[in-house]
Amino acid sequence: MLASAPTLAYPLGWKIFVRRDTNLMRIRTLSRMAVTAALITISFFAANLLAGKKPNEKPKEAPAAASAAPAVTWPGIPDLEFITRLRQEEFGHSQLMELMGHLTDDIGPRLTGSPNMKKANEWTRDEFTQWGLVNAHLESWGPFGRGWSYQLCEVRMISPDYMQFLALPEAWTPGTNGPLRGEVTQVIASTSADLEKYKGKLAGKIVLYGEARIPDPSEKPLFHRNDDDELSKIALFERPTFPGAPPRAGGPGGPGGPRRGEMMQRMRFQQDFPKFLADEHVAAVLDVTRTPGEDGTLFVQSGGSYEKGKTIAVPRVTISVEHFGRMTRLLEKKVPVQVEMNVETTFYDDDDKAYNTVAEIAGVDPSLKEQVVMLGGHLDSWHAGEGATDNGAGSIVAMEAVRLLKKLNVQPRRTIRIALWSGEEEGLFGSRGYVKEHFGSRPESTRPGDQAMPAFMRPPAGPLQLKPEQKSISVYFNLDNGAGKIRGIYLQENAQVQPIFAKWMEAFRDLGMTTLTMRNTGSTDHVSFDAVGIPAFEFLQDPLDYGTLTHHSNLDVYEHIRPADLEQAATIMAGFVYNAAMCNEMIPRKPIRPDDPPARTNSGGSAERPGPPSQ
């Protein structure tokens, strides 16, 4: 349990009952005694609070280098003077949208391994250096595979009518080598057995893959903010159900469970389908955008493999649900359809590594500067839009947070380290690679049945192997849920941080941050840290139009950024990082279950796991 701030209370048995006929002198005497006791108690605890000490603790000499700012005590009354300066700086002199404009307009989408990702890595490194951060560098991970970008995508129907289609190529798919014309046919299949009936019928054809769908009417607004009722529901714990969460014995997602079986079947088909298309000499494939794509919104990700030696042979393009539907209806009426396509893409093989951008504000407390507080978000994106809300928003907020700390000349007791990840969209590769290199990992399963699963979903094949650096990381804060303001934080089932973050949150309650939830949240980079026992947290944000319009779509652009929301988020992220860097203790870590495999160090011995702060 965390030590709570002392409160004044009468010990048991100190209740004073006064009758109307009680002697007045007796009342005054007892009152003086109570007041005297109260004053002594208040003075005792106040002195300890102001000194950042617990009762009965021997006084320590404060390091001279840390005198620039007071330490934060457990559970911590934050340095409100600093928080005031922080808010004034961001709300009056923000540079956040200038940074956002450069990332989205000057650089654009940032697919891992692409030239634009390289530009983003170098630009962020140079910005950190210009702001005065130290050790700004690009840190490689991998091998990743091939880079990719597209230069042109034109798709139109030329018979029985002319119609320009909304279309985008899928990542890591080849181009058409000039304009291509072909007759359209539809293929509906979800297993390799379903493909048998199409053998020998698809040579030279442009395949419409999948079924048409008529979008349901939109009864809910596309843009939404969480209200108090929704936040109160989020604050209630729910058992984790995201991919990679601990499975329920015999339940969905567990060993042999239906969810895992269905996923394995889909993945086997995804591996078999490109080979089938190549063997049948298909000219190209047109996929319908996934839900909720409609009204010209295209949700586009990858259609091929980034791994060397696994590049698919057939171009694949995503088109709008409306244009896909028109062609399927014509085909149902036995009306021949012809399409003309021209797709230009480029693969890059000069460097099979990918890179994270890393930089630091050096700690100054001699006894704490080797400890590290981290923050970040993923810098990579998909290619359909500009990567503004996913995750330019989170990256720029983290950048603005460290810029603020440098602008305010913060002298942190612990080192503050920012990391902007690549490879997140493909499976948290950048953060997982960084964590594996610096902090530790579990051996991945080599069973053939598990190899088809994404690496982050494979079951571990042994105990956690920790490296010495793991002990030095106090906490990692991540932002990757769109462009909405921060409304709270996911505690990842770490009950020990609840009173700490509750106190820190008080300074931002008027900005809309009100919710702590014990829930886990997944699918982004804090998971990589949590997996090796490092306290790691994702902020809870207003959804806005992230899930309905912008997430992985052609509408993930600058125009869907809300400046006031991100200024609020940068202020809060900077405040939490500052508090974690200045407090006396490291952020407490979750305990290991007794029946979990014990963590081991590189030398083979059991690793010590830092516990909660001392009482």
In a domain, 545, yes or no: yes
In a domain, 596, yes or no: no
Question: Is the domain of 487 the same as that of 566?
Answer: yes
Q: Which pLDDT belongs to residue 556? A: 98
Question: Is the domain of 487 the same as that of 522?
Answer: yes
Q: How many CB atoms lie within 10 A of CB 79?
A: 19
Average pLDDT, the chain: 85
CATH number of the structural domain spanning residue 383: 3.40.630.10
Distances (CA, A) of 380 to 251, 317, 396, 545: 34, 21, 12, 20
Residues 168-192: what's their mean pLDDT? 97
Q: Which pLDDT belongs to residue 41? A: 42
Evaluate if residue 501 carries a pLDDT over 90: yes
Degrees to nearest 5, angle at CA 568 with 562 and 574: 130
Residues 259-265: what's their mean pLDDT? 74
Using one digit for the tens of pLDDT, what is the confidence trace for 87-142? 999 999 999 999 999 999 999 999 999 999 999 999 999 999 999 999 999 999 99
CA 590 to chain centre: 20
In a domain, 368, yes or no: yes
Q: Which pLDDT belongs to residue 594? A: 58
Question: Is the domain of 156 the same as that of 168?
Answer: yes
- Domain with 136, as residue range(s), is 80-144+353-591
In a domain, 526, yes or no: yes
Evaluate if residue 77 carries a pLDDT over 80: no
Confidence band, pLDDT 50/70/90 cuts, at residue 597 = low
Question: Is the domain of 270 the same as that of 154?
Answer: yes
- Beta carbons of 600 and 607 less than 8 angstroms apart: yes
Residues 377-405: what's their mean pLDDT? 98
Question: Is the domain of 106 the same as that of 208?
Answer: no
Question: Is the domain of 398 the same as that of 481?
Answer: yes
Question: Is the domain of 408 the same as that of 486?
Answer: yes
Evaluate if residue 72 carries a pLDDT over 80: no
Residues 190-204: what's their mean pLDDT? 96
Evaluate if residue 33 carries a pLDDT over 50: no
Question: Is the domain of 499 the same as that of 358?
Answer: yes
**258: cis peptide before it, omega within 30°?**
no
CATH number of the structural domain spanning residue 290: 3.50.30.30
Radius of gyration of the chain (CA): 29
In a domain, 550, yes or no: yes
Question: Is the domain of 156 the same as that of 275?
Answer: yes
Say which DSSP state 299 is in.
B
> Per mean pLDDT, which range of 244-248, 283-287, 478-482 is the poorest?
244-248
Using one digit for the tens of pLDDT, what is the confidence trace for 298-326? 999 999 999 999 999 999 999 999 999 99
Which among 8, 104, 147 has a CA at the least distance from the CA of 560?
A: 104
Q: Which pLDDT belongs to residue 453? A: 73
Name the domain count of the chain. 3
- Beta carbons of 581 and 66 less than 8 angstroms apart: no
Confidence band, pLDDT 50/70/90 cuts, at residue 596 = low
Tokens in use for 564? Answer: 């006031």
Burial of 455 (0-12, 13-18, 19+ CB in 10 A): middle
Question: Is the domain of 140 the same as that of 151?
Answer: no
Question: Is the domain of 5 the same as that of 112?
Answer: no
Residue showing tokens 């973050």: 501
Evaluate if residue 66 carries a pLDDT over 60: no
Evaluate if residue 60 carries a pLDDT over 80: no
Quick one: CA torsion of 312, 315, 316, 317, rounded to 10 degrees?
150
Confidence band, pLDDT 50/70/90 cuts, at residue 19 = very low
Evaluate if residue 44 carries a pLDDT over 80: no
> Per mean pLDDT, which range of 53-62, 278-287, 402-411, 600-609 is the poorest?
53-62
Longest CA pairwise span in the chain (Å):
109
Evaluate if residue 371 carries a pLDDT over 60: yes
CA gap 96, 397 in Å, rounded? 7
Evaluate if residue 599 carries a pLDDT over 50: yes
Q: Which pLDDT belongs to residue 167? A: 98
Question: Is the domain of 116 the same as that of 183?
Answer: no
Q: Which pLDDT belongs to residue 301? A: 97
